[in-house]
Structure 1
Amino acid sequence: METEKYDELERTVKDLMETTEGLLAKVNDIESKLPKLESSINNLRKENEMLRVELSKINENLQDIMALYEVVSNQINPFIGVSKITATSLEKLERLETEYKRLKKTVEELTNDLIILGSLYLHQLDINLDEIIEEVLEEEIIKSMSGEDTHDTKDNK
């Protein structure tokens, strides 16, 4: 009976050591990927800031367009024929509308490029987000089942 308990304890210790070695290997793998990920995140932040500046400029241009539109709409009177000033204003408005459409398309393209770049960085660094999420969830489940959950209301009274 004593030998059985000893054998069972020995198996448990061996299983725990194997689990610990596996976890340490995963932690080392994640730690080795962190610098690359941080670098990628910094690059994405820089690109994101450049996009913010670009969007801010687009917003300013849009406000200018709206102000010009108000001026033009105040000059156009449907009861009077189109004057030379009104025709010039309409041409400016058409040019501004074309510029607005071009800027809108540029913003859409930049947004798509940012999404593609993010996916590309993750792929280049061989980072599988699904796998990382799954590992974190597994760890949280193990913690909660073993009573190590720091959010447990029994322990945090």
Structure 2
Amino acid sequence: MPNISEIIEEIKKKIKLGKKTEESSEPEPDDEFSFTLEEEAVNESEDLFAANEELLAKIGELESKFPKIEMMVTNLRKENENLRGDIQNINENFQDMMALYEVVSNQINPFIGISKITATSMEKVEMMENESRNLKKRVEELQNDVVILANVYLNTHQIDLDGVINEVLAEEEFSKAISGEDSDDW
């Protein structure tokens, strides 16, 4: 599947070829019928020329927007990777805290009674429980914030995420097809 810039270049070439054939047409003999046909041809060619100019202007606008969109997608990917790394670090810290909590809770025997357990140990356990709850809550809030920020960013910049994803997937399939990789590996 050719990418968008290749399609645009092909359209530009076709438009330029159309202009060259219009300019190189030879005048026909001077009779009324040929004059009428020539007038109609000139009017049609002027209309086609105007339409071609409009198309070229729109193509230029689209070409100028694609690098911006690609840059935004790249930035979003980087931000997502950074957030993924942060969330992974939080998860690792949370797992470490839970492992430490298990070790501490295994050392405290509930059948002995509180009198033999020092107050500082109990405070540490309670602190760790509170901290684990806070971390869990914070991870959930961060995940919600990421979703909200992504939606706001996409809506603000009027990005069709499904379209961008489909385009990226199509480009990947195209590059795999060119390199000879099997696309059935998914």
Identify the TM-score tier after normalising by the shorter chain.
Answer: 0.5 to 0.7
Give, as a single letter, the amino acid of the residue that structure 1 aligns with 2:121: S
Higher alpha-carbon Rg: 2
2:115 paired with 1:48: no
Alignment counterpart, residue 114 of structure 1, candidates 100, 125, 146: 146
Q: Deviations over 1:15-37 (max 9, x none)?
A: xx8xx969877765543332222
Aligned to 2:130: 98
Instruction: Give me the whole-angstrom Cα distance separating, in 2, the residues matched to 1:123 and 1:75.
Output: 53
Q: 1:55, 1:107 within 8 Å by CA — same for their partners in 2?
A: yes
2:108 paired with 1:63: no
Aligned residue pair count: 118
1:44–1:30 CA distance, 2 compared to 1 (3 A): same
Moved over 3 A (4+): 20-32, 127-130
Q: What are structure 1's unaligned runs of at least 5 residues?
A: 1-16, 137-157
- TM-score of the superposed pair, with normalisation by structure 1: 0.55
1:102–1:127 CA distance, 2 compared to 1 (3 A): same
Q: Deviations over 1:126-146 (max 9, x none)?
A: 33557x59xx9xxxxxxxxxx
Instruction: Report the CA distance between 1:121 and its aligned residue.
Output: 2.5
- TM-score of the superposed pair, with normalisation by structure 2: 0.48
Give, as a single letter, the amino acid of the residue that structure 2 aligns with 1:119: N
Aligned to 2:21: none
CA RMSD of aligned residues (A): 3.5
Instruction: Report the CA distance between 1:89 and its aligned residue.
Output: 2.9
Give, as a single letter, the amino acid of the residue that structure 1 aligns with 2:84: R
Instruction: Report the CA distance between 1:80 and its aligned residue.
Output: 0.9
Instruction: Give me the whole-angstrom Cα distance separating, in 1, the residues matched to 2:126 and 2:107.
Output: 15
Q: What are structure 2's unaligned runs of at least 5 residues?
A: 1-47, 168-186
1:23–1:88 CA distance, 2 compared to 1 (3 A): farther
Alignment of 1:1-157 (within 5 A): 30-82=62-114, 83-85=116-118, 87-128=119-160
Please say which of residues 20-29 and 120-129 is displaced more in the overlay.
Answer: 20-29
Instruction: Give me the whole-angstrom Cα distance separating, in 2, the residues matched to 1:127 and 1:62.
Output: 35
Partner SS state of residue 126, structure 1: coil
Give, as a single letter, the amino acid of the residue that structure 2 aligns with 1:111: Q
Instruction: Give me the whole-angstrom Cα distance separating, in 2, the residues matched to 1:120 and 1:103.
Output: 25
